[in-house]
Amino acid sequence: MSDGVDSMESKQPGLSSKKHSETSPMMVPLLAAMETGLNQLLAMDPETFQRLARFKGRIIAFDISDINQNLYFFPDEQRIEIVSHYEGEPDTIISGSLLAFSKMALAEEQEKTRSVFNGDIRISGDMALGQNFQALFQQLDIDWEEHLSHITGDVIAHSLGNVARDVFGFGKKMLNSLGMDVSEYLQYETRDIASGPEIQHFNQQVDTIRNDVDRAEARLQRLENALQKNG
Protein backbone atom coordinates (compact mmCIF):
# COMPACT_ATOMS: atom_id res chain seq x y z
CA MET A 1 0.00 0.00 0.00
CA SER A 2 2.76 2.42 0.89
CA ASP A 3 4.06 2.18 -2.66
CA GLY A 4 0.77 3.47 -3.98
CA VAL A 5 0.72 6.45 -1.63
CA ASP A 6 4.34 7.34 -2.39
CA SER A 7 3.88 7.31 -6.10
CA MET A 8 0.73 9.40 -5.91
CA GLU A 9 3.00 12.35 -5.27
CA SER A 10 4.97 11.94 -8.46
CA LYS A 11 3.11 12.93 -11.62
CA GLN A 12 4.02 9.80 -13.57
CA PRO A 13 3.62 6.89 -11.24
CA GLY A 14 5.21 3.54 -11.85
CA LEU A 15 4.51 2.94 -15.56
CA SER A 16 6.99 0.60 -17.15
CA SER A 17 9.21 1.75 -19.99
CA LYS A 18 6.91 0.08 -22.55
CA LYS A 19 4.93 3.31 -22.52
CA HIS A 20 6.89 5.02 -25.26
CA SER A 21 7.55 2.12 -27.59
CA GLU A 22 5.29 1.41 -30.53
CA THR A 23 2.55 -1.18 -30.79
CA SER A 24 3.60 -4.13 -32.88
CA PRO A 25 1.10 -5.29 -35.54
CA MET A 26 1.31 -8.77 -33.96
CA MET A 27 -0.21 -7.38 -30.78
CA VAL A 28 -3.31 -6.06 -32.54
CA PRO A 29 -5.32 -9.29 -33.02
CA LEU A 30 -4.68 -10.14 -29.37
CA LEU A 31 -6.01 -6.77 -28.27
CA ALA A 32 -9.07 -7.12 -30.49
CA ALA A 33 -9.81 -10.57 -29.12
CA MET A 34 -9.35 -9.37 -25.56
CA GLU A 35 -11.66 -6.39 -26.07
CA THR A 36 -14.37 -8.49 -27.69
CA GLY A 37 -14.11 -11.21 -25.05
CA LEU A 38 -14.21 -8.77 -22.16
CA ASN A 39 -17.20 -6.89 -23.56
CA GLN A 40 -19.10 -10.10 -24.19
CA LEU A 41 -18.41 -11.21 -20.65
CA LEU A 42 -19.57 -7.87 -19.26
CA ALA A 43 -22.69 -7.95 -21.41
CA MET A 44 -23.76 -11.17 -19.71
CA ASP A 45 -24.53 -9.33 -16.50
CA PRO A 46 -27.29 -6.81 -17.28
CA GLU A 47 -26.28 -4.55 -14.38
CA THR A 48 -22.73 -4.06 -15.64
CA PHE A 49 -23.61 -1.22 -17.95
CA GLN A 50 -25.16 0.88 -15.20
CA ARG A 51 -22.00 0.39 -13.18
CA LEU A 52 -19.80 1.11 -16.21
CA ALA A 53 -21.49 4.48 -16.77
CA ARG A 54 -19.79 5.79 -13.60
CA PHE A 55 -16.40 5.33 -15.24
CA LYS A 56 -17.20 7.23 -18.42
CA GLY A 57 -14.39 9.56 -19.44
CA ARG A 58 -11.85 8.02 -17.05
CA ILE A 59 -8.78 6.17 -18.24
CA ILE A 60 -7.64 3.12 -16.32
CA ALA A 61 -4.19 1.73 -17.05
CA PHE A 62 -3.06 -1.78 -16.30
CA ASP A 63 0.68 -2.16 -16.02
CA ILE A 64 1.61 -5.82 -16.35
CA SER A 65 5.10 -5.39 -15.02
CA ASP A 66 6.77 -8.72 -15.77
CA ILE A 67 5.88 -8.79 -19.47
CA ASN A 68 6.41 -5.04 -19.75
CA GLN A 69 2.98 -4.42 -21.25
CA ASN A 70 0.52 -1.64 -20.56
CA LEU A 71 -3.18 -1.77 -21.34
CA TYR A 72 -5.43 1.26 -21.22
CA PHE A 73 -9.14 0.84 -20.61
CA PHE A 74 -11.62 3.49 -21.82
CA PRO A 75 -14.98 2.55 -20.31
CA ASP A 76 -18.35 4.17 -20.95
CA GLU A 77 -21.93 3.04 -20.43
CA GLN A 78 -21.81 0.72 -23.45
CA ARG A 79 -18.47 -1.02 -23.56
CA ILE A 80 -14.81 -0.87 -22.71
CA GLU A 81 -12.32 0.07 -25.41
CA ILE A 82 -8.81 -1.29 -24.93
CA VAL A 83 -5.69 0.33 -26.33
CA SER A 84 -2.11 -0.75 -25.66
CA HIS A 85 -0.41 2.52 -26.51
CA TYR A 86 -1.53 5.84 -25.06
CA GLU A 87 0.67 8.88 -24.85
CA GLY A 88 -1.36 10.80 -22.26
CA GLU A 89 -1.84 10.43 -18.50
CA PRO A 90 -4.22 7.75 -17.24
CA ASP A 91 -6.32 8.55 -14.17
CA THR A 92 -5.27 5.46 -12.31
CA ILE A 93 -2.69 2.74 -12.76
CA ILE A 94 -3.17 -0.77 -11.52
CA SER A 95 0.12 -2.62 -11.65
CA GLY A 96 1.21 -6.14 -10.91
CA SER A 97 2.65 -9.24 -12.47
CA LEU A 98 0.68 -11.38 -14.92
CA LEU A 99 0.46 -14.03 -12.21
CA ALA A 100 -0.90 -11.53 -9.68
CA PHE A 101 -3.57 -10.36 -12.14
CA SER A 102 -4.66 -13.88 -12.98
CA LYS A 103 -4.74 -14.75 -9.29
CA MET A 104 -6.91 -11.75 -8.67
CA ALA A 105 -9.25 -12.68 -11.50
CA LEU A 106 -9.70 -16.27 -10.41
CA ALA A 107 -9.40 -16.12 -6.64
CA GLU A 108 -12.17 -16.13 -4.06
CA GLU A 109 -13.40 -12.86 -2.58
CA GLN A 110 -11.00 -12.80 0.40
CA GLU A 111 -7.97 -13.65 -1.71
CA LYS A 112 -8.70 -10.76 -4.07
CA THR A 113 -8.62 -8.19 -1.30
CA ARG A 114 -5.52 -9.81 0.10
CA SER A 115 -3.65 -9.49 -3.20
CA VAL A 116 -4.13 -5.71 -3.04
CA PHE A 117 -3.10 -5.47 0.61
CA ASN A 118 -0.02 -7.64 0.43
CA GLY A 119 1.41 -5.61 -2.43
CA ASP A 120 1.05 -8.07 -5.35
CA ILE A 121 -1.26 -5.54 -6.96
CA ARG A 122 -0.55 -1.85 -6.56
CA ILE A 123 -2.91 0.99 -7.37
CA SER A 124 -1.55 4.47 -7.94
CA GLY A 125 -3.02 7.73 -9.17
CA ASP A 126 -6.72 7.96 -8.30
CA MET A 127 -6.91 5.15 -5.74
CA ALA A 128 -10.67 5.17 -5.35
CA LEU A 129 -11.17 4.90 -9.11
CA GLY A 130 -8.77 1.97 -9.30
CA GLN A 131 -10.47 0.15 -6.46
CA ASN A 132 -13.96 0.80 -7.82
CA PHE A 133 -12.92 -0.47 -11.21
CA GLN A 134 -11.53 -3.63 -9.66
CA ALA A 135 -14.77 -4.04 -7.76
CA LEU A 136 -16.67 -3.92 -11.05
CA PHE A 137 -15.26 -7.30 -11.94
CA GLN A 138 -15.82 -8.74 -8.48
CA GLN A 139 -19.48 -7.78 -8.69
CA LEU A 140 -19.95 -9.57 -12.00
CA ASP A 141 -22.82 -11.95 -11.48
CA ILE A 142 -23.42 -14.00 -14.58
CA ASP A 143 -26.48 -16.20 -14.85
CA TRP A 144 -25.00 -18.84 -17.14
CA GLU A 145 -28.24 -20.82 -17.18
CA GLU A 146 -30.18 -17.81 -18.48
CA HIS A 147 -27.71 -17.27 -21.35
CA LEU A 148 -27.63 -20.94 -22.18
CA SER A 149 -31.42 -20.98 -22.33
CA HIS A 150 -31.36 -18.58 -25.29
CA ILE A 151 -29.62 -21.31 -27.25
CA THR A 152 -31.11 -24.49 -25.87
CA GLY A 153 -34.46 -23.47 -24.40
CA ASP A 154 -35.35 -23.32 -20.70
CA VAL A 155 -35.81 -26.98 -19.85
CA ILE A 156 -32.53 -28.20 -21.26
CA ALA A 157 -30.69 -25.21 -19.83
CA HIS A 158 -32.06 -25.91 -16.38
CA SER A 159 -31.13 -29.61 -16.52
CA LEU A 160 -27.67 -28.75 -17.80
CA GLY A 161 -27.41 -26.16 -15.04
CA ASN A 162 -28.28 -28.81 -12.46
CA VAL A 163 -25.76 -31.25 -13.89
CA ALA A 164 -23.09 -28.53 -13.86
CA ARG A 165 -23.91 -27.56 -10.29
CA ASP A 166 -23.81 -31.22 -9.20
CA VAL A 167 -20.51 -31.83 -10.93
CA PHE A 168 -18.92 -28.70 -9.48
CA GLY A 169 -20.40 -29.40 -6.07
CA PHE A 170 -19.12 -32.97 -6.07
CA GLY A 171 -15.70 -31.86 -7.29
CA LYS A 172 -15.45 -29.23 -4.60
CA LYS A 173 -16.53 -31.65 -1.87
CA MET A 174 -14.12 -34.29 -3.10
CA LEU A 175 -11.24 -31.83 -3.19
CA ASN A 176 -12.10 -30.59 0.30
CA SER A 177 -12.30 -34.03 1.83
CA LEU A 178 -9.22 -35.22 -0.03
CA GLY A 179 -7.36 -32.21 1.32
CA MET A 180 -8.55 -32.92 4.84
CA ASP A 181 -7.62 -36.62 4.61
CA VAL A 182 -4.13 -35.84 3.40
CA SER A 183 -3.50 -33.20 6.04
CA GLU A 184 -4.79 -35.41 8.85
CA TYR A 185 -2.63 -38.30 7.65
CA LEU A 186 0.52 -36.15 7.53
CA GLN A 187 -0.18 -34.40 10.84
CA TYR A 188 -1.40 -37.18 13.09
CA GLU A 189 -0.44 -40.51 11.48
CA THR A 190 3.03 -39.98 10.10
CA ARG A 191 3.70 -36.79 12.12
CA ASP A 192 5.66 -35.46 9.13
CA ILE A 193 4.19 -32.01 9.63
CA ALA A 194 2.97 -30.24 12.72
CA SER A 195 -0.71 -29.73 13.42
CA GLY A 196 -2.33 -26.29 13.76
CA PRO A 197 -2.32 -26.09 17.60
CA GLU A 198 1.29 -27.28 17.75
CA ILE A 199 2.36 -24.56 15.33
CA GLN A 200 0.46 -21.96 17.31
CA HIS A 201 2.15 -23.08 20.52
CA PHE A 202 5.56 -22.95 18.83
CA ASN A 203 4.85 -19.46 17.43
CA GLN A 204 3.85 -18.22 20.89
CA GLN A 205 7.11 -19.55 22.31
CA VAL A 206 9.07 -17.79 19.57
CA ASP A 207 7.24 -14.54 20.35
CA THR A 208 8.01 -14.87 24.06
CA ILE A 209 11.69 -15.45 23.39
CA ARG A 210 11.79 -12.50 21.00
CA ASN A 211 10.25 -10.24 23.65
CA ASP A 212 12.69 -11.52 26.27
CA VAL A 213 15.65 -10.83 24.00
CA ASP A 214 14.32 -7.34 23.22
CA ARG A 215 14.00 -6.60 26.93
CA ALA A 216 17.49 -7.91 27.65
CA GLU A 217 18.88 -5.78 24.83
CA ALA A 218 17.14 -2.66 26.17
CA ARG A 219 18.54 -3.40 29.62
CA LEU A 220 22.10 -3.83 28.29
CA GLN A 221 21.76 -0.56 26.38
CA ARG A 222 20.63 1.21 29.55
CA LEU A 223 23.56 -0.19 31.54
CA GLU A 224 26.01 0.79 28.79
CA ASN A 225 24.64 4.36 28.78
CA ALA A 226 24.94 4.55 32.59
CA LEU A 227 28.56 3.29 32.42
CA GLN A 228 29.47 5.87 29.76
CA LYS A 229 27.96 8.71 31.81
CA ASN A 230 29.85 7.67 34.94
CA GLY A 231 33.07 7.11 33.00
Partner 1 sequence: MENQNQQGDTTHFGYKTVNKEEKVGKVAEVFHSVASKYDVMNDLMSMGVHRLWKRLTVEKSGVRRGQSVLDLAGGTGDLTAKFSKIVGETGHVVLGDINDSMLKVGRARLIDRGIVGNVEYVQANAECLPFPDNTFDCITIAFGLRNVTDKDAALASMFRVLKPGGRLLILEFSKPVAPGLSPLYDFYSFNILPTMGKLIANDSESYRYLAESIRMHPDQETLKGMMETAGFERCDYTNLTGGIVALHRGFKF
Question: Residue 13 CB, nearest distance to partner 1 (Å)?
Answer: 17
Report the distance separating Cα 70 and Cα 84, nearest Å: 6
Report the distance separating Cα 13 and Cα 11, nearest Å: 6
Question: Is 18 one of the binding residues for partner 1 (CB under 8 A)?
Answer: no
Based on CB atoms, which residue is closest to partner 1, 86 or 137? 86
> Near partner 1 by CB under 8 A, which window of 86-94, 100-108, 144-152, 189-197?
86-94
Q: Positive or negative CA dihedral for 102, 105, 111, 114? A: positive
Length of the chain: 231
Based on CB atoms, which residue is closest to partner 1, 116 or 129? 129
Cα dist. 161→37, 40, 43, 79 in Å?
22, 20, 20, 28
Contact residue for partner 1 among 14, 18, 44, 74 (CB under 8 A): 74
Question: Is 9 one of the binding residues for partner 1 (CB under 8 A)?
Answer: no
- Asked if 133 contacts 60 with a C-beta cutoff of 8 angstroms, the reply is yes
Helix (H/G/I), strand (E/B), else coil: 14: coil
Contact residue for partner 1 among 2, 17, 67, 87 (CB under 8 A): 87
Question: Is 84 one of the binding residues for partner 1 (CB under 8 A)?
Answer: yes
Residues at the interface with partner 1 (CB under 8 A): 22-23, 25, 28-29, 31-32, 57, 59, 74, 76-78, 81, 83-88
